[in-house]
Structure 1
């Protein structure tokens, strides 16, 4: 018998009721008392942690929506079925448009109310209520522009059917919110509550939906940033040098969207061969208020992206007729390029009337904005449509002479329009300020800390050289912008949803005023088309929109007229048999109205055209494949120059060597693509950073393709010289050599010494981050809401437009926010995919379940007919009228 067997073991410790028969207790009895208490504390902390994890898990999953069974919904007139497939995509069936709108509001709120709530706080200038003083600058800017005030005015302009749809949608959202605690709505409210936020969401309203259209218009507003950047670039360079940085669109090398037709007597006729109106004169602007415009540019750059900003914001869409389609009927593709975020911009949805009649006319599916009724991009039973940003110049900055409460115009002083705004700030005092406006628009400079230095370079007023406004101060910057005038764009959304042919489609498009978009079209009768809609101002002869204008001179004003819708470019069944839009010039330079000079230079568009012409006939799969085409249009031009550089043998030449057999595609697994893009980044830095101020340095997109293309043929151009070296004048080949060497070292540091281990995807990562809590700086919270790290191909100004900013690194900054291909031969044969998923709940399987497909360039089946939807259905939720009280 062992010694241990003869040792008596108590059944419990003195003073405790804890069993002592376990091995861990026998071991513990011999420890010092302090150590024992340490273990007790640790054990207690473990239990608390476990309890917290269980509780956290409950709160994490608590907001997940009910997707099956039955729910009573106040306001419904009849039963609505919500059929969700295995990706959670909802298809709604009802017997009236009113019930469909109400149910869409309910389902949007189920999946994405927190996103909707944040959006309405942005557009109302009320972010500070949720996030404190750090959001104050954004709120001041939005309040100054008055987005919500304009939206409130728009309600009265809308058709009764649109107002009813907005009201029904809001009623559905509010039916969801009724009797729900914050923790039942979104986990973000739970987390914000733990941080001290005392907040209950307000009921939804029609204005909340309309105001989001202002956010769309802001991020897609045209060339306002270019106006400011030209001023900043002009601080250190003459006009010829600035012009080199903004190359003109080359319509011979890269075709515009519409390649036939002209304006005759104010109407765009697609078979006309020349215009019958006079082209307006557009003299150059005066230079003005450089310092203040630069300060304003910096302030606007700090405003958070709503849909996105920068070179990567654009889109691809194209449509081919039956002659170019393997199906014998049109195919239409679209992929808008916007900011990357989690959740993504879009929510897929279908809205179907069980029987089409006067009370129920909708049978549509596609991509919606949470917070807005209807489908923005998609197809119905008769037609399909897609959007890309047309990008006309619809905003102007005006330099205004200001003193106290007056502004100067045409030699006389006029009173400024003024109003008071008060912003509630979480954790701080309310902030009250005055918004001042001229006849041109609100003074954005009033929200810039540097507005007192405005006007340092304003030329003397030729009409009054003795003006008593002091030079170097006494000026302001006003914004005139079409979106600050009420309009009926909300009508257009629902009219597009109900359109059945080309005339009704164009009628709907005529109401789509802001943001101006390229609209591509296809129908079940075999027609394809293009229409440019939008409210585009006609300027007086002194204003070409390229630079801020002197607001005290009437010659710089808008005329008050807009390009007539009938004169905007359009074409039905074009001679080419296809239409390609990718933000390039809409028409050639002979067009008599000024749309803009700041087009995308057309590299993506021309690549799409080339592939369509080479293929001759495309299938649905080939259309989807073209959306992820990764051909880098700059590479065939630049690589031959790079290979001519004689680098030292060994380490540096082995890096250069990966370019020799490269196919010029920015594939995720390509080492050559990685090296080329790092060379490109260093080339831009070495060529321009010595001479350009930080805020206008090259980001690497299409404009810089054009700039460098122009410089490569002039090896001694002054831009190549590094002005920081006193004893040398660098030429093109010097800079190319330095870029190759620097890129080789950078690739070794970032990836590996062996070029065989390089890949573009390792550098070019898709990080999907929440726009609020995803940037909180709190690790566990960011882990909860963000989805980072996907390695992806593509790049800036590539058809697979995963843009990156050369001033920031190689991370994806913008991307196709969705992809769709619509087959007009068989709508059930169409394809779609979202950047993230339909849900805004991090705990949902559908928060990011489409991202892997997206990254791999794959798409999902897009069922549309009732039979196809039911076959794909996984869950069905019945929304039924709530019993009367």
Structure 2
């Protein structure tokens, strides 16, 4: 027995030793890729020494004698901190993820190859102006110098992920940066999904009034009735089987509701307590770890610029200079159209055009797959755009036999000058200079708010397609590509993009809400991103005569739900304080307790309160009950509550109350019945997940922000180190937006919101502040991986200063790049 015990002890000790040795080895190899921020590096192709001063939040402040040297250093800094992120963005745009991840990402690569974004980006390099090409080349050189340093000094392959997913990293090229702009446009575009959804809905809800209920128009005149989809494209089955969605963490394809959103607003000196202009901006994207945003400051010949960059792009996309600030919000512009192309029944290599059948443009493309045999796919293009597979956003469900679907999209332009325009903006000195500078921006379409020291303005940037007034679906549903009136007729002039300069009221902004009410085809869009947040924003902006930096911060962090305040009195109108108190432990008693809590609630989506969870679960269950019988399988596509639909139903607008009656039942159900049953459903669901004690519920337990690493976040054990989870305030329709997942076992997780916040005060520019949702470093062993995360969660910020001395004070290091 003693001998057995000794051997068991030796085996256990040996296993512990091997585990400790393995962990130590992994830590050592991973830590080798941690950058040394306090170093002098001999770098080729520089004109003169460059300093990268990293302040105490690890924000690089870059000082050089020429703009080329400054952009060179930005590329170096991006590669130091976010090399893995940059290479993944590039591989995604190129359609080359499968070379690293194998078969799970093949479907993503196929779609990206069919869109051909990278080839379009490569072609666009030649149309940039000469200065832009020089700056792109300088940036790429800086990235490549970091790659050479990693290889020469054995710096852990540059990022810990490179050990787990070993693959060669090609040198950076100017086209790579242009491709990332197009990839951003892809992530911010939701009209393709909206077109397919509307077409499918029209097949099962033929009544135009009922279709307007479930897919409501944003209030305002100018929209006319549309024909049924079956009348435009006959032969489609109403309940065609839905194709499985691609949910890989690296996929850039997200449902339309997850397309880009944002808040941006400004105040003129007349509405500012300090007498200077104010600007607040918080762009909304899907949460990741690290965040997509990277803070940086560049000292250019035209002056200092500081704000949010995206690694891979040599741009301050949202930020300020000493004299100009700019912020972005998704414009909602309808810049995508789906076309149904008729294939020649006698020759499948041809498709129908207004002038007869024509051959597809075709090209083979080889996809290399890790540990598998490469596959070759054939890319097909029509005059309208690339042919997409039926699995993409369920296009097969709206494509009749003998046809294929193609996509027209402004971001597919091979003459995309967005980079040149954005670089010019960084040098602009005034609002009007900025509006003129950004004219060449193509995609993604954005509402850009600009402020200088005296003036404020908002300009929609991005190319608007020119459509024929006779377009059969007005771009709202797929249409036959062989009908000339459906095809795009070029682009509208930049002057036709909505523009608001120096408004009389002194305040302007956008929460992705409807901005103009113009008749088709100059309408901008029929589908807008917000009808709710704008109501709360208007209230906050108009409740004060003058604003301050702090009042703008307060608005940015506001968690009061206008939606909850407006809908709860409607859906609970016949339920509040009715009947006698029920015995404890009964469903009726639980319902009464929930209604009592909601009756005294202000609508604040605070993480510590139970009411937001009860409200969110009730609305979710209510919409599901109302639509299930009419929509059948299509009900699953409505992942988030549509407030205008609920309001139309409960106000019985144009007979919308009919949705409350269950078609299959003999009885006639009222909306009050649906509200009561839905509340019971919600309380059962809450009890099963969080327990029956309603008063002890916390919204933040369900509304966890999921800053997950797109790859390592799913690896056992590692996920505890790389994923950042936080209890958060806000909800789908609050200004501090925390869009919920909407599907799966944890539908209330916070997955999409303001990963960057900035507030700029031009009365005292150095008092401006900003923050991101994680940290500057993409290396999970770095203290800067998540050091900003708790500030972000608590609604705190760090200074946004162009003062060189402040940057050097308590800096974490100064990197000097010296020419040979």
- TM band (smaller chain): over 0.9
Give the corresponding residue for 2:257: 311
Distance in 1, matches of 2:425 and 2:238, equals 42
Distance verdict in 2 for CA 1:622–1:591, change over 3 Å: farther
Does structure 1 residue 170 correspond to structure 2 residue 113?
A: no
Partners of 1:291 and 1:367 in 2: CA distance:
47
- Is 1:585–1:599's contact at 8 Å kept on the other side of the alignment? yes
Partner SS for 2:601: coil
Answer with 162-171 or 740-749: which moved more. 740-749
Aligned match for 1:323, one of 247, 254, 270: 270
**Offset, 1:851:** 1.2
Return the offset for 1:488: 0.0
Q: Deviations over 1:356-399 (max 9, x none)?
A: xxxx3341000001011121110011100000011111111110
Partners of 2:425 and 2:509 in 1: how far apart?
20
Q: Secondary structure at the match of 1:434?
A: strand
Distance 1:232 1:451 in 2: 10
Deviations 1:236-262 (A, max 9, x none): 21142222112122249xxxxxxxxxx
- Whole-angstrom distance in 1 between the partners of 2:707 and 2:393: 32
On the 8 A contact 1:721/1:730 being kept in 2, the answer is: yes
| Shift in CA distance, 307/521, structure 1 to aligned 2, threshold 3 Å | farther
**SS of 1:54 mapped into structure 2:** helix
Alignment counterpart, residue 542 of structure 1, candidates 470, 478, 485: 470
2:189 is the alignment partner of 1:221: yes
Q: 1:327: Cα distance to partner?
A: 1.2
Q: Write the deviation string for residues 583-603 of structure 1: whole angstroms up to 9, x where unpaired.
A: 111212468712110013432
Flag the 1:756–1:188 CA change in 2: closer, same or farther, 3 A: same
Displacement of 1:741: 1.4
Q: Name the residue aligned to 1:245.
A: 214
Tell whether the 8 Å contact from 1:513 to 1:533 is kept in structure 2 after alignment: yes
**Residue number in structure 1 paired with 2:762:** 824
Instruction: Choose from 151, 171, 178 the match for 1:203.
Output: 171
Asked if the contact 2:559/2:729 (under 8 Å) is kept, the reply is yes
| Contact 1:307 1:338 (C-alpha < 8 Å) held by counterparts | no
Aligned mate of 2:505, from 573, 576, 580? 576
Contact 2:629 2:663 in 1 (8 A): yes
- 2:727 matched residue in structure 1: 791
Q: Does 1:689 align with 2:657?
A: no
Q: 1:804 aligns with which of 740, 756, 766?
A: 740
| Other structure's SS at 1:779 match | coil
SS of equivalent to 1:418: strand
SS in 2 for 1:56: helix
Deviation, structure 1 residue 182? 7.1
Partner of 2:384: 440
Unaligned runs of 5+ in 2: 583-588
Contact 1:182–1:190 (8 Å) recurs in 2:
no
- State the alpha-carbon separation in 1 of the partners of residues 678 and 391 from structure 2: 40
| CA distance in structure 2 between the partners assigned to 1:220 and 1:598 by the alignment | 14
The 1:279/1:508 distance shift into structure 2, 3 A limit, reads farther
State the Cα deviation string for residues 465-504 of structure 1 (Å, max 9, x = none): xxxxxxxx21100111111112100011211111111232
Matched position secondary structure for 1:690: helix
Q: What do residues 791-829 of structure 1 show as CA deviations (whole Å, max 9, x unaligned)?
A: 111001211110014334110121112100011111110
Q: 1:865 aligns with which of 798, 803, 810?
A: 803
Per-residue CA distance 1:708-756 (angstroms, 9 max, x = gap) = 11111129822112345x3323220111001221222222233232222
Match of 2:452 in 1: 523
Cα deviation digits, residues 292-332 of structure 1 (max 9, x gap) = 99778755777955496542531000000112112111100
Q: CA RMSD in A?
A: 2.5
Equivalent in the alignment of 1:388:
329
SS in 2 for 1:341: coil
Question: TM-score scaled to structure 1, two decimals?
Answer: 0.86
Which residue does the alignment assign to 2:585? none
Using the alignment, how far apart are the partners of 1:452 and 1:609 within structure 2? Answer: 42
List runs of 5+ in structure 1 lacking aligned partners.
1-30, 194-198, 253-277, 354-359, 457-472
How far the C-alpha of 1:38 sits from its partner, in A, is 1.9
User: What is the DSSP-based 3-state SS (H/G/I as helix, E as strand, rest coil) of the residue aligned with 1:407?
Assistant: strand
Q: More deviation in 656-665 or 115-124?
A: 656-665
Equivalent positions of 1:547-626 (< 5 A) are 547-560=477-490, 562-589=491-518, 593-626=522-555
CA distance in 2 between partners of 1:565 and 1:528 (Å) = 19
Q: Report the structure number with the largest CA radius of gyration.
A: 1
Deviation at 1:219, TM superposition (A): 1.8
Q: Does 1:375 align with 2:316?
A: yes
Cα displacement string for residues 10-62 of structure 1 (whole angstroms, at most 9, x for unaligned residues): xxxxxxxxxxxxxxxxxxxxx43233222111111121112112112212322
Contact kept, 8 Å, 1:795 with 1:803, in 2: the verdict is yes
User: 1:114: Cα distance to partner?
Assistant: 0.5
Point out the more displaced range, 70-79 or 837-846.
70-79
1:127 corresponds to? 97
Partner SS state of residue 469, structure 2: coil
Are 1:415 and 2:359 matched, yes or no?
yes
Distance 1:522 1:105, change over 3 A: same
Choose which of 159, 171, 174 in structure 1 pairs with 2:129.
159
CA distance in 2 between counterparts of 1:806 and 1:64 reads 37
Distance verdict in 2 for CA 1:389–1:451, change over 3 Å: closer
- Is 1:532 paired with 2:460? yes
Count of residue pairs the alignment pairs up: 793
2:759 corresponds to 1:851:
no
**1:117 equivalent among 77, 87, 91:** 87
Match of 2:342 in 1: 401
Q: Tell me, in whole angstroms, the C-alpha distance in 1 between the residues paired with 2:486 and 2:79.
A: 46
After superposition, give the CA deviation of every residue in 1:203-250 in whole Å (9 maximum; x if it has no partner).
111111110011111122242211000112123211422221121222
Contact conserved, 1:70 with 1:878, CA < 8 A, in 2?
yes
Contact residue 435 and residue 446 of structure 1 kept, 8 A = no
* More divergent stretch after superposition (842-851 vs 564-573): 564-573
Distance 1:292 1:489, change over 3 A: farther
Residue 183 (structure 2) pairs with residue 183 (structure 1): no
- In the alignment, is the contact (CA less than 8 A) between 2:308 and 2:317 conserved in 1? yes
Give the SS at the match of 1:876.
strand
The farther-off stretch of 162-171 and 735-744 is 735-744
Taking the aligned partners of 1:44 and 1:304, their CA distance within structure 2 comes to 39
Q: Which residue number corresponds to residue 586 of structure 2?
A: none
SS of 1:575 mapped into structure 2: coil
What is the match of residue 657 of structure 2? 717
Deviations 1:654-695 (A, max 9, x none): 122101110111111111112111111111121123332545
2:402: which partner in 1?
474
Kept in 1: contact 2:94–2:113 (CA 8 A):
yes
2:646 corresponds to which of 708, 718, 724: 708
Residue 165 of structure 2: which of 192, 196, 213 is its match?
A: 192
